[in-house]
Every structure is written in C-alpha cells, then in structure tokens.
Amino acid sequence: TPSAVQKIKELLKDKPDHVSVGVKVGVRTRGCNGLSYTLEYTKSKGDSDEEVVQDGVRVFIEKKAQLTLLGTEMDYVEDKLSSEFVFNNPNIKGTCGCGESFNI
C-alpha cells in the first residue's frame, strides 16, 4: 500500500547504500498456529528471491514464502498505541488469538 511504501522509504533513507537496498519478506515456523511473517533489511537479491518494485521501493520475497504470500497486500498502520506492518493475506485459513501466527 502507499502507507507501506512511504514507511519503507523512511526506514531505508537512513541506511547507507552498502547496508541495505530493500527489505526481504519471508515466513518462519513459529507460534501456536504454525507460521509468522519476517521482515528484514537486505543488501542484495537472493538467487531465488522474487523481486517486487513498488513506487521505487524494492521488496524481496524469499523463495519458500512465495506461495504462502501470493496475493498478499502489505500495509503500514499507525494508531495511538502502536505502529506496525500488516499483511492482508487471502490464503490464511486461521490465526491464533494473539495474532502472532497463522496457517494456510
């Protein structure tokens, strides 16, 4: 979303070019429901990463997460108590009560 693009641009502007060129999204086995999202800075595109460029922001998707994240929208949401990246994933079949993990 435009909000996520803007936040990633803000985060990357403070990073020297040799430290980070974008962010990498993945999934890890974790939590009571099985999977959780990961988001980290990356210096380069991995051999099997899928690259998505949105309004000048480079997002790389790890190979093992590509089918899990197919059709997913990444957003950035701020309210009075928190700010976070939110993934709107149409593939999810269930989530845990705390929202930490999901299954497909």
22-75: per-residue pLDDT in tens?
899 998 887 666 778 899 999 888 889 999 999 999 999 999 899 888 999 999
- Does pTM top 0.75 for this prediction? yes
Residue 78: both structure tokens together = 């701020």
6 compared with 98, residue with greater pLDDT: 6
pLDDT at position 33: 61
Domain extent listing, the chain: 2-93
Q: Which CATH architecture has domain 2-93?
A: Sandwich (2.60)
Rounded to an integer, the average pLDDT of 79-96 is 83
> Which three-class secondary structure state does DSSP give residue 28?
strand
94 compared with 27, residue with greater pLDDT: 27
pLDDT at position 15: 78
Give the CA angle between residues 53, 103, 84 to the nearest 5°.
50
